[in-house]
Amino acid sequence: MGMTSYAYSQVGAPIDSLKSDSLGAKHKKIIPPRIYNLNKQYDFGDLTRYVLHPKGKADTLRSKSGITIVPNVAANPTIGGQLGIKAVAGRKLGDDPNTLLSIAATSASYTTKGILFFYINHNIFTPGNKWNLQGNLVVSKTVTPDYGLGIGQPITGGTAADNVLADPTHKTNAIHSYYFNIREKVYKQVAKDLFLGAGMSFEVRRKIQQSDTVNNATPLSVYNNQHGFPQDHYSADGFLFNLEYITRDNPNRAYKGIYFDAGVRVNQTWIGSTKNSLQFTTDFRKYFSLSDVAPETVLALWNWGSYLAAGNIPYLELPGTARDGSFRSGRGYTSQYFKGTEFNDTEAEFRFPILANKFVSGVAFGSLQSANDEHGTKLFQQFEPGYGAGLRVLFNKATRTNLALDYAFGKFGNQGFFLNLNESF
């Protein structure tokens, strides 16, 4: 089930300095910082070893980990059931104790809705966090469900095309296409925990096929006609400029800290983009560990937003449900169920251990999505909720990799099962 090389879990924060100083003065010794005892945790690797070698020794405190090859099994209402193979890696580069965990993954899969998907992505921190490199390569044959533009608000009046674009009936239109994405960003640390970055992203769709045979019969067709996009292809190629602040202790499953990224995307026709545009994005995450005894008892908060300031972006690149960087926001709805030129999603999740050995944990979560439309609805004027609960199975305790199983509910009859590796945020 897996292959092993070297990586170590993040080290916990020191205990309270005032208590440490007073105890040290009284007892003439310095109390070292607390390290999470991985030897008391039980993960899928321990289960495998127990099945294959029931008399083998337990793992050590600093559990060696690295590249893990697993079946890529997933499920959600957007893709249906998924089966493939996935390799994930986690490792701290160098000996600097301040270096954050670097992660990478690659996968090839097929879904019951006819989606073929291959990707490679990475989030690498060099020793001492001097540089952070983030990027991905995606090649895919996709089927995208389309429910219209906006946040689900009915409209009054307007033309027949306006009503098709808003689609208050939430009729599903399937959009088939070939999708290619190359993205790379390079961040330089400019102060403690603060990074400035720049890069480029190329999103290309070809052979777009939809059910519209008479023109203006689907939201995609109406949007393309109104904004001057071809019906069967587009490119969204642009420059990326970002500011990043990171104090969270682990990217897979944070117990504490902050992650914040604010960015500007500038699409330009002279580098191949179908249209020019200027877009702002924000991503803020805060983690509160609620227990010293069980630090994985966490209240996690997330706000993600994207806002078009000028120009036009293609319909399938509009920000919306599950259009964040990891495609995990808005559980309870299919991808892009809500979308607009301006979009914001706020989520909260309570995470708690169920078994003493941390092998199984639980979560409860809720979200609120908001978007504008082209018929007068403004951002934050209308909110659509989602909520649910799930289980977590500890897959790799050294890198805090979890198998996530969630069931979520939304409005308009939406509900579904969501299965993935690692937390949604």
Tell me: the pLDDT tens digits for 100-143? Answer: 989 998 989 898 888 899 999 999 999 999 999 999 999 999 99
pLDDT for position 58: 55
pLDDT for position 94: 79
DSSP string, 197-260: EEEEEEEEEEEEE-S-SSSSSSHHHHHHHHHT--SS-EEEEEEEEEEEEE--S-SSS-SSEEEE
Distance CA(33)–CA(83), nearest Å, equals 43
Cβ atoms of residues 351 and 358 within 8 Å:
no
Pick the most confident of 13-17, 93-97, 249-253, 317-321: 317-321
Neighbours of 421 (CB within 10 A): 20
Distance CA(137)–CA(116), nearest Å, equals 14
Instruction: Give the largest CA-CA distance in the chain.
Output: 84
Among candidate residues 308, 309, 310, 313, the one with its CA nearest the CA of residue 273: 313
Secondary structure class of 81 (helix, strand, coil): strand
Tell me: the pLDDT tens digits for 372-416? Answer: 998 889 999 999 999 999 999 998 888 888 889 999 999 988 888
CA-to-CA separations, 325 to 156, 312, 320, in angstroms, rounded: 35, 20, 11
CA-to-CA separations, 111 to 66, 76, 117, 140, 407, in angstroms, rounded: 27, 10, 9, 11, 19
Among candidate residues 266, 362, 284, the one with its CA nearest the CA of residue 324: 284
Structure-token pair, residue 91: 């490792």
Distance CA(255)–CA(35), nearest Å, equals 13
Q: Please give the span between the terminal C-alpha atoms of the chain, in angstroms, as a whole number.
A: 26
Phi and psi angles of residue 380, each rounded to the nearest 5 degrees, phi first = 70, 10
Please give the single-letter amino acid code of residue 233: H
Residue 31 scores a pLDDT above 70: no
Secondary structure class of 269 (helix, strand, coil): helix
Cβ atoms of residues 291 and 306 within 8 Å:
no
Residue linked to tokens 């069931």? 407
pTM, full prediction: 0.84
pLDDT for position 61: 47
DSSP string, 336-382: TSSB-SEEEEEEEEEEEESSTTSSEEEEEEEEEEEE--TTSPPTTTS
Average pLDDT for the chain: 85
Tell me: the pLDDT tens digits for 204-239? Answer: 999 999 887 778 889 999 999 999 999 999 999 999
pLDDT for position 91: 87
Structural element, H or E, at residue 176: strand 173-191
Q: How confident is the model at residue 57 (pLDDT cuts 50, 70, 90)?
A: low
Beta bridge partners of 103: 90, 123
